[in-house]
Chain A
Amino acid sequence: MIVSNDTIITPGETRPSVHATKGFSSKGYRPLAEVLLLLLIIVFCIFPFYWMVTTSLKTQLEALASPPSWIFEPTFANYIQVLFKDNVGQSLVNSLIVAVCTTALALILGTPAAYALSRFEFRRKKDLWFWFITNRMVSPIVLALPFFLIVRKLGMLDSHIVLILIYLTFNLPIVIWICTDQFRSIPWDLDEAAVLDGAKPFRIFWKICLPLAAPGIAVSAIFSFIFSWNELMYALVLTRKVAKTAPAMAVGFMEGYNLPYGKIMATSTLIVIPVIVFALIASKHLVRGLTMGAVK
């Protein structure tokens, strides 16, 4: 599939109606069925999220009601406990630090590379592509094992920098992918004009193309943030206390007598809300990002 840069029709936007010309009877049960189906889909997608939030607002006793209760008195006690007493607040901060730094690093390293790939001619592009795709597809456990041993030798276990670096293995490909695409869509005339003016390549990149590519860069940053924030395996293996991120922290709630459902869900809600917000912002590009540009 050719990565093209003409009009991108994002899914769901209105198009010239293909159906209204003839055929579908727009009366009777059809619309009703559609409405119901759409509503069903919405409910199905949102219900677990709803359940998570409501459980997080229940007291422990309430959360262990059998069968579970739908109407109850909400309380923020779980959130307060979890944020201030159980170190979840700290782990959220860790997640934030790691996600932001690794995204920044990915952008710094990735945008020039993306520009190069969109403009310059050189061999071995295919190998690069292969390398990037494999990185996106590979299971983290493959790298987690040796990384653990290496980092341990270097005495750097349980530090933010370790996570920031290792997350580049999946962030950098994403950034490069999306940004290459974006740079390609910037017309060359600007480049040419600048060259004729005697500008150096870096200047062209920095002053001209980068600002124009801002939307794509923003999207890649969002993706990088989301994937870093959500990551579990590396965090589990490489951190212990100081740099423990929120998902790794959430796993630790799983023992104890009365499984603290309220607290677990409160932690979960806190973890999930930022990424959902970001994902909604970048929702139009979600598909492109997740398929590494193969599908738009």
Chain B
Amino acid sequence: MLAVFAVATQASAWSLEEAAKPYAGTELEVVFLLRPGYEAAEKMIPEFEKKTGIKINIIKHPYENSLSEQVRDFVANGDLDIALIDLVWIGNFAENEWIVPVDKFTKNPDLADPELDLDDFFPLVLNAFGAWNGVVYGLPFDNYSGLMFYNKCMLKEAGFDRPPETWAELKDVYGPKLTKDGKYAFALQSKRNETQSCDSFARVLWPFGGSFLDQNFKSNLLSDGSQTGLKFRQDLMQYMPPGIVSYDHAETINALAQGDVAIITEWSAFYATLTNPETSKIVDCIEVSAEPKGPAGRKPALGGFSLAVASQADEKEQAAAWLFIQWVTSKANAKTYLELGGVPARQSVYKLPGVAEKYGYVNALVESWQEGVPEFRPRFAEWPQMTEIVQEWGTKIMLKEVTTEQGAKEIGSRVEALLKDAGYYDGKKPLAQ
């Protein structure tokens, strides 16, 4: 009885304010993007600062520059204390030892929140965004799944009362009927940056049974699955607006929001933009569902960012950074984060009553996070170089400067050279992606 009482008091004795006392006054630097999840976090920060006395300095960057900025900082022993890790950078950051594994902090009773509950995170998400080679480095913060957003009014007008189930259906049935009078059926963001590799290129590989690499880490882009997928994309382009190769997220979301395009497959985070009357003309017509299936099943795009402690920070900053990361991704704060426009990765929050009804994308999101593929894009250290290759040739294929086979060959040979150099083929490096 006494033992239970003792344990109970000890468990309830951990509080953020107490834990943060030694670090009051510490200033932390972190890079944030210009996206809804970060704005939500920004609104939550004053509360954290008040409770702990720890100040958070945010440097905002477009996604385009965020990797370069962080790499330059880490390489020059700069000031960043928290690393914002896109899931594809985790291999790189981990191997360069720029980030600290979480168990340094979770094992520390002074810093570890007993309510942390790592199991509450969607396993796919925690694994994909925050872990590398079995070690957890970061907690999922800005989480996305690819979802299909569509304009149900436009669909209804064309005679459809449900969204397309499969990619083939989208192209063959919905495409022709919805592409007329200056409107288009579909828009696939394909700008020559990470968007091309992830949103455009990878999206048509997996559902068709293709992949970037085979199990020996050789290029798999000439396989039937991959080629079918890439050719499918070429074919689908006739139902997309012209100049689609310069469409990034902003342009694609806008196209749907302004009523120029009927269907898009974009990141879940943009739900807030599409349902906001200030930025969307189709607030009454917007609907969400999971991405279409391909012959190999539903393989939605997977993307997201985790926050990890940067190893270049000193001990105090590291501890303070951990407290922040833990707090902003906590179970308790998940609902607030959700309400402010963010997308948490906590399973518990989506089970709360009323949440699924209020946020139309929840069901689709939860479903997508059950089925996704963690290596949607390889996350190893060589990805930053590999993505440059994919981006370049992926857009060349779309611009019809090369055929899908030629493009696949070029990507294949260059990527293989890259991986060979890194030592994957002679056993120097384990085949982890």
Contact = CB atoms under 8 A, between A and B. Distances in A.
Q: Consider the complex of A and B and state whether they touch directly, i.e. have CB atoms less than 8 Å apart.
A: yes
Contacts of B249: 257
A257 B279 contact: yes
Interface in A217-267: 240-241, 252, 254-259
A148 B76 CA distance: 9
B72 A157 contact: yes
Contact of A252 (B60, B78, B79, B270): B60
Contact of B59 (A240, A256, A257): A240
Contacts of A152: 72, 75-76
Interface stretch (B63-71, B234-242, B294-302): B63-71
A188 B273 CA distance: 73
A257 B254 contact: yes
A252 B64 CA distance: 9
A130 to B, nearest CB: 33
B62 A254 contact: yes
B43 interface: no
B250 A257 contact: yes
Most chain A CB within a 10 A radius of its CB, from B59, B64, B76: B76
Interface string A148-165: 100110010110000000
A258 B254 contact: yes
B183 to A, nearest CB: 15
Q: Chain A interface residue count: which class?
A: 10 to 19
B62 A252 contact: yes
A10 B76 CA distance: 50
A159 B253 CA distance: 38
B77 A155 contact: yes
B34 interface: yes
A252 B79 CA distance: 19
A183 B250 CA distance: 56
Interface string B277-288: 001000000000
Contacts of A148: 72
Contact of B76 (A157, A241, A252): A157
Interface string B48-70: 00000000000111111100010
Interface in A249-291: 252, 254-259
B73 interface: yes
Given A240-B59, A240-B69, A241-B59, A255 B250 contact: yes
A256 B279 contact: no
A252 B65 contact: yes
A254 B64 contact: yes
B334 to A, nearest CB: 24
B78 A255 contact: no
A255 B64 contact: yes
Nearest to B66: A255
Most chain B CB within a 10 A radius of its CB, from A151, A152, A155: A152
Most chain B CB within a 10 A radius of its CB, from A241, A254, A257, A259: A257
A152 B73 CA distance: 9
Interface string B227-261: 00000000000000000000011100110000000
A257 B33 CA distance: 12
A61 to B, nearest CB: 8
Nearest to A66: B258
Interface string B70-108: 001101111100000000000000000000000000000
Nearest to B29: A241
A158 B29 CA distance: 14
B62 A258 contact: no
Contacts of B270: 257
Contact of A155 (B33, B76, B273): B76
Most chain B CB within a 10 A radius of its CB, from A152, A158, A241, A254: A241
Most chain A CB within a 10 A radius of its CB, from B72, B254, B270: B72
A147 to B, nearest CB: 12
A240 B73 contact: yes
B321 to A, nearest CB: 17
Contacts of A255: 33-34, 62-64, 248, 250
Interface of A: 148, 151-152, 155, 157-158, 240-241, 252, 254-259
13 contacts: A148-B72, A151-B76, A240-B59, A240-B72, A241-B59, A254-B62, A254-B64, A255-B33, A255-B248, A256-B250, A257-B249, A258-B254, A258-B279
Given A256-B34, A257-B270, 10 more contacts: A240-B72, A240-B78, A241-B59, A252-B65, A255-B63, A255-B250, A256-B62, A257-B249, A257-B250, A257-B254
